[in-house]
Amino acid sequence: MNAKKIIHNVYMLERDGIRILATKSKYGSHYGERKIGEFREWIPSRSKLSAMFMKGYVIEIKPNWKVLYLGAASGTTVSHVADIVDEGIVYAVEYSAKPFAKFLELAKERKNIIPLLQDASKPWKYSGVVEKVDFIYQDIAQKNQIEIFEDNARFFLKEEGEGVIMVKARSIDSTAESEEVFKQVIRRLKENFKVIAHGSLEPYHKDHIYVHVRMK
């Protein structure tokens, strides 16, 4: 098996001609992913950040970064982000109690995850806990997902800090064409951020794009 390093603790494994994205981790499986030696498989159909990497767009997430993760759910992607920022910290916000219960199991074994059962549309409610961060990652399928990202960036993102928002067109407008929704989203984000890149997450996630931004 070949293992090619992509960024800190993220590797592309190749075995029998099949590519497998993985994070180097001392921890076991969290959501049913395979443990391959010292690596945890990072399944792109289960994680939009993994899908983005598999599509060839890579962000150099640093091991000592402070990350604000909005929409943690049960912690699938958070677990891999925590592998990457093993010298940093992940503030992970989730509003729904049911997935949060499973997420707490992960947070108990990971010293660099701070779980927050909060509404991401009200960042002032957790502003006493979350410090300024280097990076914001958001995966929230709500109509106001752009507002949520903008508000959290104003509260927490460092000057020149970066972020990625995973945009689901159908959550914003279920009647409009996805491409038109994406154009509107990018136009709006350009009002407050420098848009570095954006792209489709298909075939892993239908009607989704990633948008990578930096604070102006």
User: Residues 149-177: pLDDT tens digits?
Assistant: 999 999 999 999 999 999 998 898 888 89
Segment 57-68 mean pLDDT: 98
Per-residue pLDDT reduced to its tens digit, 106-152? 999 999 999 999 999 999 999 999 999 999 999 998 999 999 999 99
d(CA 36, CA 33): 9
Per-residue pLDDT reduced to its tens digit, 71-92? 999 999 999 999 999 999 999 9
For the segment(s) 54-215, the CATH number from 2.40.110.10, 3.40.50.150, 3.30.43.10, 3.20.20.70 is 3.40.50.150
Q: Does the pTM of the predicted model rise above 0.85?
A: yes
Residue whose tokens read 């136009």: 187
- What number of other Cβ atoms are within 10 A of residue 81's Cβ? 24
215 pLDDT tier (thresholds 50, 70, 90): very high
- According to the model, what pLDDT value does residue 174 have? 84
- According to the model, what pLDDT value does residue 75 have? 96
User: Structural domain boundaries of the chain?
Assistant: 2-42, 54-215
97 pLDDT tier (thresholds 50, 70, 90): very high
- According to the model, what pLDDT value does residue 216 have? 85
User: If you average pLDDT over every residue of the chain, what do you get?
Assistant: 96
Q: What angle do the packed helices 178-192 and 145-156 form, to 10 degrees?
A: 20
- According to the model, what pLDDT value does residue 62 have? 98
Task: State yes or no: pLDDT of 1 exceeds 90.
Answer: no
For the segment(s) 2-42, the CATH number from 3.30.200, 1.25.40, 2.60.40, 3.40.50 is 3.30.200
d(CA 115, CA 161): 22
